[in-house]
């Protein structure tokens, strides 16, 4: 069975104290009601800003099934790149995962699939699980190009990987028009794209690998709509933005399988 995962992308929000409180509060509740006793037995990953990654890792220590990752990494291992952060650095802070190719990185920092392929490589080289984000913008969906766009993102960002390496990757489908807008993809739209992604993975790596890869949905997923989204056969959890900043909402989402 593939893993169910609920991940919280905190983006550029909170401060050290706020981040610590949020992670600690969620972990306390999870300890009272352990993840392995919940339907779906989900894993939880926090994606805080780099500067409080260490503290969030500490807050999560001892809570089974909870870990933390970075929202981004640089495509190189080290060097004279002022202001940047490399995979071995976040690994040394205790991170287990990293997001790669979030649509905000693609849009505002001009990260393309070729660059993201290098970031995926860096992550895997340093023992981080990449959560590779894909998704179309509204005009692409309106033009009926959403499958083509997502396929291209996945093929160019990931399909150069050998089978064994690919099997470590998590995919997050986040339609850009649903991110932070309050407009969620309908469960049918999410399922349709997730099934498509799984088919594309199957054509490249075989059915077994396709069945094994976790595909998360992101985009205005919240405590009210998570259950319906997660009940879709190819939706293995969520990458949550806004609702991951409120402990009760995030906890409700974790319990939505």
Q: Please give the residue ranges that form the binding site for ligand 13P (CB under 6 A).
A: 9, 102, 174, 179-180, 218-221, 239-243
Give least dist CB 105 to ligand 13P, A.
10
Q: For residue 106, which of 128, 127, 133 has the smallest C-alpha distance?
A: 133
- By C-beta, is 45 or 210 nearer to ligand 13P? 45
The answer for 77, left when phi > 0, alpha when psi is -120 to 50, beta otherwise, is alpha
DSSP 148-205: HHHHHHHHHHHTTS-HHHHTT-EEEE--GGGTTTS-PPPHHHHHHHHHHHHHHHHHHH
Q: Which of 102, 126, 146, 194 is catalytic?
A: 102
Rg value, the chain, Cα: 17
Q: Is 99 helix (H, G, I), strand (E, B) or coil?
A: strand
Cα–Cα distance, 104 to 196 (Å, whole number): 23
- By C-beta, is 214 or 220 nearer to ligand 13P? 220
Determine the residue with CB nearest ligand 13P. Answer: 241
- By C-beta, is 47 or 52 nearer to ligand 13P? 47
Give least dist CB 37 to ligand 13P, A.
26
- By C-beta, is 55 or 174 nearer to ligand 13P? 174
Give least dist CB 108 to ligand 13P, A.
12
**Residue 118: exposure state from Cβ atoms within 10 A (0-12, 13-18, ≥19):** middle
Q: Which two tokens stand for residue 53?
A: 């990654």
Among this protein's residues, is 146 annotated catalytic? no
Q: Which of 140, 146, 174, 194 is catalytic?
A: 174
Q: Which two tokens stand for residue 234?
A: 């190819």
Among this protein's residues, is 174 annotated catalytic? yes
Give least dist CB 100 to ligand 13P, A.
12
Q: Which two tokens stand for residue 87?
A: 């995979």
- By C-beta, is 111 or 205 nearer to ligand 13P? 111
Q: What is the DSSP letter of 22?
A: H
Q: Which two tokens stand for residue 92?
A: 């040394």
Give least dist CB 4 to ligand 13P, A.
17
Give least dist CB 144 to ligand 13P, A.
23
Q: Which two tokens stand for residue 164?
A: 């064994």
Q: Which active-site residues does the annotation give?
A: 102, 174
């Amino acid at each position: 069975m593939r893993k169910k995962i609920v991940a919280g992308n905190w983006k550029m929000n909170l401060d050290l104290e706020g981040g610590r409180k949020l992670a600690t509060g969620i972990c306390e509740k999870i300890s009272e009601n352990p993840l392995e006793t919940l339907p779906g037995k989900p894993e939880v990953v926090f994606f805080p800003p780099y500067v409080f990654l260490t503290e969030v890792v500490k807050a999560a220590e001892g809570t089974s099934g909870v870990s933390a990752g970075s929202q981004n990494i640089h495509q190189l291992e080290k060097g004279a790149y002022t202001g940047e952060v490399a995979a071995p650095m976040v690994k040394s802070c205790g991170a287990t995962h990293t997001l790669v190719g979030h649509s905000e990185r693609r849009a505002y920092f001009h990260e393309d699939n070729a660059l993201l392929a290098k970031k995926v490589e860096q992550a895997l080289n340093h023992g981080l699980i990449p959560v590779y984000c894909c998704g179309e913008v509204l005009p692409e969906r309106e033009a009926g190009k959403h499958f083509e766009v997502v396929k291209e993102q996945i093929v160019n960002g990931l399909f150069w990987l050998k089978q064994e390496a690919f099997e470590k990757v998590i995919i997050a489908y986040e339609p850009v028009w649903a991110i932070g807008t309050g407009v969620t993809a309908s469960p049918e739209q999410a399922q349709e794209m997730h099934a498509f992604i799984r088919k594309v993975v199957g054509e490249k790596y075989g059915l077994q690998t396709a069945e094994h890869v976790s595909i998360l949905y992101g985009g205005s997923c919240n405590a009210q709509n998570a259950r319906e989204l997660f009940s879709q056969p190819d939706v293995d959890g969520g990458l949550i933005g806004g609702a991951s900043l409120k402990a009760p909402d995030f906890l409700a989402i974790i319990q939505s399988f």
